[in-house]
């Protein structure tokens, strides 16, 4: 296609930004096909090179096969998650198999493997840097883990599996988004919405008017709509409707994911078996800090043993409270968040909605930038000359204190029907040397926060503020990466280490020194009161057992689908019920299912890795303790964290990097101690 900005590799301005304003849906497939043809030709050149294999003519050359396909696929899959319609998403069924087939062919090519193996065997004697050696070792293992030693027949089987998986993942995610967007509930009875905060009702009324309703409130399955209902609505019937709809997305409806997820799980098992592993979990965990499924299960068992009795006591207390308050004889899933919030209000004398007026979105964003400046000396400046893929997106230039350029940060904070649910950080350009240039990172934070209405600005909940700090931690990981080889740059590290930078950042969200930077009432300008901060901090351990048990259950469900042969599983509901039975304190209800909307593991990168959230919590609880001892803005501690964690990428083993920062291995009880479970 002529005038294709993805083929021409057009970049905008001094930042070399992606020209989103010039890219249309029609550009992606031709660009990727062009890029793959380019890559095929370069591969042949590498294979036919008469010179002895070395780092530059083999390893680096293999990383730089086609900048066109790299950029086009990166932009496509990022936009598929945050700004796409059904037609756009459908392109994945063509794009993903092409990319997967090329990748499978390349990494199973015997001539390429012999060249990589030759460099690998001489890696200690041919003058490689430490990063180059690590990348050679990583690439060599990648060939082995992707079928280099298989017979031609088995290589073909592996390619077929990879191509099918590349289609199923996007389809799973598309179904979840479709199911999320398909459900709405219009309410006109004021009594039915009793208890829902005014801010949430204004948003629901605004939503109703946008959809053509002359009166009432419109609720959907986006989190800013779901949570206020489940947390505050005294109408149990509405809570049930919303909770049931949310908990049954893509299960026995027009977007049913049951057959897709069973197929994904089975194919992952067959793939692992073909490569000589006992399970998908075994092959995944080989390149994680945990290393083995046994370690993960032991870790989860340890957390379970510490969490189960406190969780039972918390539920019993909550049930007694609900019975006394409203005569509830049997607790249901749609009661848990509601009565937990009521009980927390009683115990700690505050309502989470009291915090919202102090968390105007613009102020919170300014606040996280000030936190980063105090910790790392970096600055964020809004820029208007960078193209955006949607009008909601904000772009910031990130610089060092001396104004030297670091990278770009995109912020895309509000829900829309073209965006999947949840919150995540992603990259449009990774830091490091590639295609003959030292690249600066372009990273993006995407969330689904409470939007503004006609008469109220966007006011965030504490959970949303914490989420923003979390994703900002990921973005700092990407922005402050400082490696030579782009393939080793942050945040491309082991997945049970990648959550350390994000989860440690959450701690700053409720510190008094941090809140003084941004938590001012949006109408009066008053700083958030000290006593309210203290109540929030004291309540952090509230329902610690239940919260821990929920995360353990999700981790066990992930492992159940990936730590063994699941090809004979027939009934998704029954299998899920059994997998999480020991963490389910309420009887399971028919018509509800988590697996069918579990995008983290079936449409994302967390298969056999959901445990990493809890694993990283142990790391960050111990790491933040050092900040508490030295001061949360201590420059020396921050500099050590930046150097040994944020900047280091995948240049060393994660445990070695943690030890360099902390001076020792992590305390396994750090998390349990912090939340009062030990």
Is residue 38 among the annotated active site residues?
no
If DSSP states are collapsed to H, E and C, what string results for 383-416? Answer: CCCCCCCCCCCEEEEEECCCCCEEEEEEEECCCC
Q: In degrees, to the nearest 5, what angle opens at C-alpha 60 toward C-alphas 56 and 65?
A: 125
Beta-strand runs (E) in 174-272: 184-187, 217-220
Nearest to 491 by CA among 443, 437, 436, 440: 443
> 401 is written with which tokens?
């204190």
Cα–Cα distances in Å, from 331 out to 154, 325, 441?
52, 13, 49
Contact (CB, 8 A) for 445 and 471: yes
Active-site residue (options: 83, 314, 397, 471) = 471
Nearest to 127 by CA among 55, 58, 194: 55
Compute the Cα dihedral for 311, 317, 323, 329 and give only its sign. Answer: positive
- The alpha helices in 48-91, defined as continuous H runs, are 61-63, 67-82, 86-90
- CB atoms near residue 454 (< 10 Å): 8
- Say whether the peptide bond before residue 240 is cis (omega within 30 degrees of 0): no
Task: Round to whole Å and give the CA distance between 643 and 635.
Answer: 12
Q: In degrees, to the nearest 5, what angle opens at C-alpha 185 toward C-alphas 184 and 187?
A: 150
> 435 is written with which tokens?
């295609």
Q: Is 674 left (phi over 0), alpha (psi -120 to 50) or beta?
A: alpha
Place of tokens 């900005």: 5
Q: Which residues pair with 187 in a beta bridge?
A: 217
Q: Which residues pair with 412 in a beta bridge?
A: 446
Contact (CB, 8 A) for 527 and 512: no
Q: In terms of C-beta density within 10 A (0-12 exposed, 13-18 middle, 19 or more buried), how is residue 229 classed?
A: buried
Contact (CB, 8 A) for 594 and 472: no
- CB atoms near residue 403 (< 10 Å): 9
Helix (H) or strand (E) holding 546: helix 544-562
Q: Which residues are catalytic?
A: 471
């Amino acid at each position: 296609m002529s005038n294709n900005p993805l083929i021409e590799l057009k970049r905008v301005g001094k930042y070399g930004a992606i020209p989103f304003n010039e890219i249309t849906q029609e550009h992606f497939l031709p660009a990727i096909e062009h890029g793959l043809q380019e890559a095929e030709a370069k591969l042949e050149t590498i294979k036919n090179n008469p010179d002895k294999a070395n780092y530059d003519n083999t390893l680096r050359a293999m990383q730089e096969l086609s900048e066109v396909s790299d950029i086009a696929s990166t932009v496509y899959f990022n936009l598929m998650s945050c700004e796409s319609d059904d037609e756009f998403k459908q392109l994945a069924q063509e794009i993903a198999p092409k990319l997967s087939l090329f990748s499978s062919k390349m990494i199973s090519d015997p001539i390429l493997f012999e060249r990589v193996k030759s460099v690998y065997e001489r890696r200690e004697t041919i003058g490689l840097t430490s990063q180059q050696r690590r990348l050679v070792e990583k690439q060599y293992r990648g060939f082995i883990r992707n079928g280099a030693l298989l017979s031609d027949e088995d290589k073909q089987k592996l390619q077929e599996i990879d191509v099918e998986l590349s289609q199923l993942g996007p389809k799973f995610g598309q179904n979840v988004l479709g199911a999320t967007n398909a459900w709405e509930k219009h309410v006109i009875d004021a009594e039915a919405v009793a208890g829902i905060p005014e801010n949430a009702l204004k948003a629901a009324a605004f939503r109703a008017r946008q959809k053509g309703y002359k009166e009432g409130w419109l609720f959907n399955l986006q989190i800013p709509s779901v949570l206020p209902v489940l947390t505050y609505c005294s109408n149990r019937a509405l809570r049930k409707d919303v909770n049931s709809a949310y908990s049954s997305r893509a299960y026995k409806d027009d977007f049913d994911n049951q057959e897709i997820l069973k197929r994904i799980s089975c194919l992952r098992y067959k793939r692992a078996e073909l490569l000589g592993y006992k399970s998908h979990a075994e092959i995944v965990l080989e390149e994680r800090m945990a290393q083995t499924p046994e370690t993960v299960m032991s870790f989860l068992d340890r957390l379970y043993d510490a969490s189960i009795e406190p969780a039972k006591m918390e539920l019993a207390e909550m049930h007694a409270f609900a019975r006394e308050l409203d005569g509830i004889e049997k607790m249901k899933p749609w009661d848990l968040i509601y009565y937990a919030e009521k009980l927390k209000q009683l115990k700690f004398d505050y309502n989470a909605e009291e915090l919202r007026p102090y968390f105007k979105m613009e102020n919170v964003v300014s606040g996280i930038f000030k936190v980063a400046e105090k910790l790392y000396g970096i600055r964020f400046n809004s820029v208007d000359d960078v193209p955006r893929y949607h009008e909601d997106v904000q772009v910031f230039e990130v610089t060092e204190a001396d104004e030297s350029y670091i990278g770009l940060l995109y912020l895309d904070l509000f829900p829309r029907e073209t965006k999947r649910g949840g919150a995540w950080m992603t990259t449009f350009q990774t830091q490091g040397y590639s295609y003959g240039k030292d690249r600066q990172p372009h990273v993006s934070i995407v969330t689904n926060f409470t939007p503004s209405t006609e008469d109220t600005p966007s006011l965030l909940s504490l959970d949303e503020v914490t989420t923003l700090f979390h994703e900002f931690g990921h973005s700092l990981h990407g922005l402050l990466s400082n490696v030579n080889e782009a393939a080793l740059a942050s945040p491309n590290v082991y997945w049970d280490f990648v959550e350390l930078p994000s989860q440690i950042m959450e701690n700053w969200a409720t510190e008094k020194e941090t809140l003084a930077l941004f938590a001012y009432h949006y109408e009066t300008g008053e700083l958030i009161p000290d006593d309210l901060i203290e109540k929030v901090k004291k309540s952090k351990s509230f329902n610690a057992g239940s919260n821990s048990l929920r995360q353990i259950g999700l981790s066990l469900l992930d492992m159940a689908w990936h730590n063994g042969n699941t090809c004979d599983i027939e009934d998704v509901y029954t299998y899920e019920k059994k997998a999480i039975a020991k963490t389910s304190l309420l009887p399971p209800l028919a018509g509800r299912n988590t697996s069918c909307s579990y995008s983290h593991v079936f449409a994302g990168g967390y298969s056999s890795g959901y445990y990493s959230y809890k694993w990283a919590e142990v790391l960050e609880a111990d790491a933040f303790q050092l900040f508490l001892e030295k001061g949360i803005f201590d420059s020396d501690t921050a500099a050590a964290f930046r150097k040994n964690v944020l900047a280091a990428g995948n240049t060393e083993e994660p445990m070695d990097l943690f030890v360099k920062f902390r001076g020792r291995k992590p305390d396994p009880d750090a998390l349990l101690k912090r939340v009062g479970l030990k």
